[in-house]
A and B are shown apart, each in its own frame.
Chain A
Amino acid sequence: MINLVYNEMLKIVRKKRLFIIAAIVAVLVSLFTYAQFKQVETIRERIGTTDWRTQLQQQIIDTQNRLNSTGISEEWKKFLKIRLQQQQYYLDNDINPMAPGAPTFMRMFIENSIELFLPLLVMVIAADLVSSEASGGTIKLLLTRPVKRWKILMSKYIAMILSTSFIVFSVAVLSYAISGIVFGYGGWNLPLLTGFSIQGEELNTTGVHLIPQWKYLLIEFGLAFFVSLVVGTLTFMLSVLLRSTAAVMGIMLAALISGAILSSMVSSWESAKYLFMVNLRLTSYVSGMAPPIDGMTLSFSMTVLAIWALVALIISFYVFTKRDVY
């Protein structure tokens, strides 16, 4: 089995996919670092201070003003209200959620990339794991070895898991290393609040507690890994079912983008919460953002995602071991 996994990793590495992905991450992180740097600068210019309390207070006032303007949707209003309560909580407890530093940037980067960017990267690897062997014809060589079919698929799946963690890791390392140049490398022990739970329009703070940023990051990256794994597994299934890598990518891309759109407009379509695409923003639960649909919690979303992944895995293995290869 170890040999088989080694084979798969060899192929992934030799196709240079991992390095291309790392390069993409590096470019994007640099871009965001610069954008973030610019934003900090403009805020400083606008209110003439770098004091975070003033900034946060200003943000609260801005949010309140947005709430009072007409023509904003109910969902958006609800979201703003919860944000407001949370910001107020940070202010009242004298905690700066935006303290500059590479770890803070990492946190923001992973929170913003968990829904679309990270799954896209994982998709690039997972999409052609099986389908490229089918379209290249090499699947015939693989399946005529004295190795059971499920073992071959399992080795590919393990390789997918390993490369997924590599991708998440490269996001972590690169965002830390690059943003640190601008924001400094400190801030691992910054206390952050978590454990918010949202009930209707109210923010429930009974379970709220402080954890250091490194732990917070570990949680968020763990969740990002989980999400990537689920998206990877679904892509993997499509890769088994379809011969064309392009078709696999097309379908996954459509699903992921529709998820990003749906989560901003489905609050009235309740059963949409069973779709995997609207459940990808797991980090929002940790930071206490309002979920797209009422009644969605971290455990709910994780369960939904796990079920999707499990079903996809079963289908993959069933089809792969039974199928005739032409």
Chain B
Amino acid sequence: MPKRIISIVVAICVATTMLWIFGLIVTIQDQFFYEASSSTKQIEATNSNSKQKDALSIVALGDSLTRGTGDETGKGYVGHVMDELKKRTDKQIQFTNLAIKGQRSAQLIEQLKQKEVQRQIIEADIILMTIGGNDLFRGGEALRDLSTTQIEKEKKKFIEQLNTIFLLIREMNEDAPVFYIALYNPFNDLDNGKETSAIVRNWNYAASEVAAQYKSIICVPTYDLFELQVNDYLYTDKFHPNKEGYKRMGERVAALITLTEGEK
């Protein structure tokens, strides 16, 4: 009996050795002597439409605010929105967060050109979005240079790009409501709080003007949420909201969503 086992093992060993050596030959031929000419042939997309019919598809775009930076629970305002929506609807919710920390409007435009991002926006029922914080504050740089000319220049550029973003989104998806969450002023209680507040108000006003030109693009104000006791709602970096701040933002956005959904 043991003799047969040994013979079988030896036979397997010899056979597999051959196989692996063949594998190595294939490796050498494929990895070292591959002709680059016959380049990648495109293969057909197998399942082009994968969206569940009855699911509510939500896509979030933008920067660190949408990402939830500063919220130790990791939810961010989108998390609160999701929680709210789950309570209110029986539908399955399909959520994709495409936000990238530190993203500026120009980078968002680039992202919108990606095929897969486009596909998701096309399928989206609701789009959430924050953008502009990094354009304006540039990581706190704006604080040092409050010269109106510089800020005006930045604003002009941003407004053009925001317009492009809305245009792109609407080209892909005509109906889905877009909730554009406007800026708050994290530097409210600093010495130059008045000046910075003015700048933010100005900025938000321009952005809401752009949003108003499109159907179902809603500019959600958050400026007022952080106007009093701003430090209670900010993370230790004095820039991003904390858990409480995000909760307030989330509640506001969620409140708006039910309304629009009811219209449908």
Given A54-B120, A223-B24, A194 and B30 contact (CB-CB distance below 8 Å): yes
Task: Check B12 against A166 for contact (C-beta < 8 Å).
Answer: yes
Given A61-B100, A64-B100, A166-B12, A211 and B24 contact (CB-CB distance below 8 Å): no
Identify the closest chain B residue to A205 (Cβ). Answer: B40
Q: Is A304 an interface residue (CB 8 A)?
A: no
Partner-binding segment picked from A115-123, A213-221, A241-249? A213-221
Task: Check A68 against B102 for contact (C-beta < 8 Å).
Answer: yes
Interface size for A (C-beta < 8 A) is 55
Task: Check B50 against A13 for contact (C-beta < 8 Å).
Answer: no
Given A65-B67, A209-B40, A219 and B13 contact (CB-CB distance below 8 Å): no
Chain B residues with Cβ under 8 A from A219's Cβ? 23, 26-27, 30-31
Task: Check B96 against A65 for contact (C-beta < 8 Å).
Answer: no
Chain A residues with Cβ under 8 A from B36's Cβ? 195, 206-207, 209
Given A51-B50, A222-B22, A286-B31, A193 and B96 contact (CB-CB distance below 8 Å): no
Which residues of A, 286-310, contact B by the 8 Å Cβ criterion?
286, 298-299
Partner-binding segment picked from B1-9, B160-168, B199-207? B1-9
Task: Check A226 against B41 for contact (C-beta < 8 Å).
Answer: no
Identify the closest chain A residue to B48 (Cβ). Answer: A94
Given A14-B2, A54-B96, A208 and B23 contact (CB-CB distance below 8 Å): no
Partner-binding segment picked from A128-136, A157-165, A176-184, A263-271? A157-165
Which single member of A14, A51, A61, A225 contacts B20 (CB below 8 Å)? A225
Which single member of B24, B40, B100, B117 contacts A225 (CB below 8 Å)? B24
Partner-binding segment picked from B87-95, B190-198, B209-217, B242-250? B87-95
Q: Is A23 an interface residue (CB 8 A)?
A: no
The answer for the CA separation of A298 and B44 in the assembled complex, in Å, is: 31
Which single member of B41, B42, B99, B119 contacts A61 (CB below 8 Å)? B99
Task: Check A65 against B101 for contact (C-beta < 8 Å).
Answer: yes
Task: Check B94 against A162 for contact (C-beta < 8 Å).
Answer: no
Task: Check B99 against A9 for contact (C-beta < 8 Å).
Answer: no
Chain A residues with Cβ under 8 A from B43's Cβ? 93-95, 191, 210
Task: Check A209 against B38 for contact (C-beta < 8 Å).
Answer: yes
Task: Check A13 against B9 for contact (C-beta < 8 Å).
Answer: yes
The answer for the CA separation of A68 and B26 in the assembled complex, in Å, is: 40
The answer for the CA separation of A20 and B51 in the assembled complex, in Å, is: 47
Whole-angstrom distance between the Cβ of B72 and the nearest chain A Cβ: 15
Given A163-B13, A215-B26, A208 and B40 contact (CB-CB distance below 8 Å): yes
Chain B residues with Cβ under 8 A from A226's Cβ? 20, 24
Which single member of A10, A54, A93 contacts B40 (CB below 8 Å)? A93
Which single member of B13, B22, B45, B116 contacts A218 (CB below 8 Å)? B22
Chain A residues with Cβ under 8 A from B39's Cβ? 208-209
Q: Give the one of B9, B22, B42, B99 with max A CB within 10 A.
A: B9
Task: Check A211 against B30 for contact (C-beta < 8 Å).
Answer: yes
Chain B residues with Cβ under 8 A from A65's Cβ? 67, 99-101
Question: Binary interface profile of B, 71-112, with partner A (CB < 8 Å = 1, else 0)?
Answer: 000000000000000000000111111111110000000000
Task: Check A10 against B6 for contact (C-beta < 8 Å).
Answer: yes
Q: Is B258 an interface residue (CB 8 A)?
A: no
The answer for the CA separation of A248 and B197 in the assembled complex, in Å, is: 71
Question: Majority SS of interface residues in chain B?
Answer: helix
Whole-angstrom distance between the Cβ of B154 and the nearest chain A Cβ: 21
Q: Is A35 an interface residue (CB 8 A)?
A: no
The answer for the CA separation of A215 and B26 in the assembled complex, in Å, is: 8
Q: Is B115 an interface residue (CB 8 A)?
A: yes
Q: Is A199 an interface residue (CB 8 A)?
A: no
Task: Check A13 against B6 for contact (C-beta < 8 Å).
Answer: yes
The answer for the CA separation of A115 and B9 in the assembled complex, in Å, is: 26
Q: Is A74 an interface residue (CB 8 A)?
A: no
Which residues of A, 183-213, contact B by the 8 Å Cβ criterion?
191, 193-195, 206-211
The answer for the CA separation of A13 and B4 in the assembled complex, in Å, is: 11
Q: Is B16 an interface residue (CB 8 A)?
A: yes
Chain A residues with Cβ under 8 A from B31's Cβ? 194-195, 219, 285-286, 298
The answer for the CA separation of A153 and B16 in the assembled complex, in Å, is: 22
The answer for the CA separation of A165 and B117 in the assembled complex, in Å, is: 45
Task: Check B13 against A9 for contact (C-beta < 8 Å).
Answer: yes
The answer for the CA separation of A194 and B20 in the assembled complex, in Å, is: 19
Q: Is B255 an interface residue (CB 8 A)?
A: no
Chain A residues with Cβ under 8 A from B99's Cβ? 61, 65
Chain A residues with Cβ under 8 A from B256's Cβ? none
In addition to A47-B95, A88-B114, 17 A-B residue pairs with Cβ atoms within 8 Å of each other are: A57-B96, A61-B99, A61-B100, A65-B67, A65-B101, A94-B45, A161-B17, A162-B13, A165-B20, A169-B12, A194-B31, A210-B41, A221-B20, A222-B20, A225-B20, A226-B24, A299-B32
* 11 A-B contact pairs sorted by A residue (CB < 8 Å): A13-B9, A53-B116, A56-B116, A64-B100, A162-B14, A166-B13, A195-B36, A206-B36, A218-B22, A219-B31, A222-B21
Interface positions of B (Cβ within 8 A of A): 2, 5-6, 9-10, 12-14, 16-17, 19-27, 30-32, 34, 36, 38-46, 50-52, 55, 67, 92-102, 114-117, 119-120
| A-B pairs with lowest CB-CB distance, top 9 | A222-B23, A225-B20, A162-B13, A51-B50, A169-B16, A222-B24, A68-B101, A48-B94, A165-B17
